Amino acid sequence: MAKEKKRTGKEQAEQVLLTSVIDAPRDLVFKSWTDCERLMAWWGPKDFTTPFCKIDLRQGGVFHNCMRSAEGRDYCGKGVYREVVEPERLTFTDFFVDEQGDRVSPVHYGMSPDWPEEALVTVTFAEHKGKTKLTLQHTLGPVPATERDMCEQGWSESLDKLAAELAKGVSPKKGEREMATSKQEDKTDIQATMEVYTKLGTPGPFHKVLTRMAGSWNTRIKSWSEPDKPPMESTGTSEQKMILGGRFLQQEFSGEMMGSPFTGIGVTGYDNHIKKYVSTWIDSMSTAILFFEGTAGADGNTITQAGRYDDPIRGPMKWRSVTRVVDDNSHLFEMYATDKRGKEEKMMEITYTRKR
């Protein structure tokens, strides 16, 4: 693959411009950008995967994707197509979103405040001596040189992966997140289909973290009604066991919360298909069923999840929970809430100590 980098003067500070000659027909290169199954096989820098993709290919349609680093952190983004000219040209906006698909500041993912809230990407596809000349322009505005160079490197590595995928001469592999339902229905090999479901239904390494939290526990609870005041403290117990063949951790909690008796039941599992931890929670203080999902930390002992709740007093809120296995005899649970003003506050902390 031949690749050029064009950056001069003002452009050097405000955009990334790359040109690649890819040894594949133009129609196929275009489809690799507009078909999720194909795009998920190459999208993202080196060592990144793309477990989620959703494309509404039309002017005004939304392009939504999540990339995953080698350390397991997800980086999600969306864009709106401004121009779709098959198979010649794509123009779309580009901005960051969280795992629920809501727009967030670039600072959320560690970028500087100078990084634009929304950028513009234009990709053109031209026939070139039996190959495809792809030109990518990512218009950023004034940004730090280090971040611009990081962006350029990411695109360059992505295009290398695209060229390598197309060089195989076969359709890219199916992505991790979306199983094409219509294609599954066309399959006549029942055994092969069952093998897929069996593999996805088999507990793996991510379930071992849950297993470490099974047992009988004493708990110490701190809860904050106001961030600037001392927490209310109480104690309780929790019975936790793995159920359904080691696939899920079930928790039955009993204690006090803010001076009142409190019981709750939670279930947490790791979904091999979407590659995330998923949890539900119900308790004696509410008629709501709460849902959380998230990922494992790089240390293999931390689970960070997010959820939403329309609080009757404070309005729509985002919740973030962090569960950390300290050792085989203790683990820590922390809950944070972000209100509509965007301010995150710690709401609760529960320390679990195994009963002797």
Indicate if the pLDDT at residue 180 is higher than 50.
no
Question: pLDDT value at position 120?
Answer: 96
Q: Which two structure tokens, joined as six digits, stand for 85?
A: 């000219």
Cis peptide before 87 (omega within 30 of 0): yes
Same fold, 2-186 and 205-354: no
> How much is the average pLDDT of 241-253?
97
Domain 205-354 falls in which CATH fold?
Answer: Lipocalin (2.40.128)
**4 pLDDT tier (thresholds 50, 70, 90):** very low
The percentage of the chain sitting over the pLDDT mark of 90, rounded to a whole number, equals: 74
Do residues 211 and 242 make contact, with C-beta atoms less than 8 angstroms apart?
Answer: yes
Question: pLDDT value at position 194?
Answer: 86
Query: Which position has the higher pLDDT, 224 or 315?
Result: 224
The per-residue pLDDT for range 316-354, each reduced to its tens digit, is 889 999 999 999 999 999 999 997 778 899 999 999 999
Q: What spatial distance separates the first Cα and last Cα of the chain, rounded to whole Å?
A: 63
* Spatial distance between the Cα atoms of 289 and 300, rounded to a whole number of angstroms: 28
Helix 145-167 to helix 26-34 angle (10° resolution) is: 120
Do residues 135 and 144 make contact, with C-beta atoms less than 8 angstroms apart?
Answer: no
Q: Which CATH architecture has domain 2-186?
A: 2-Layer Sandwich (3.30)
Q: Which two structure tokens, joined as six digits, stand for 211?
A: 């297993």
* Spatial distance between the Cα atoms of 182 and 198, rounded to a whole number of angstroms: 20
> How much is the average pLDDT of 250-274?
93
What is the domain partition of the chain in residue ranges? Answer: 2-186, 205-354
pTM value is 0.50
Indicate if the pLDDT at residue 204 is higher than 80.
yes
Name, of 1-5, 8-12, 106-110, 339-343, the range with top average pLDDT.
106-110
The percentage of the chain sitting over the pLDDT mark of 70, rounded to a whole number, equals: 90
* Spatial distance between the Cα atoms of 6 and 281, rounded to a whole number of angstroms: 53
For the chain, the average pLDDT equals 89
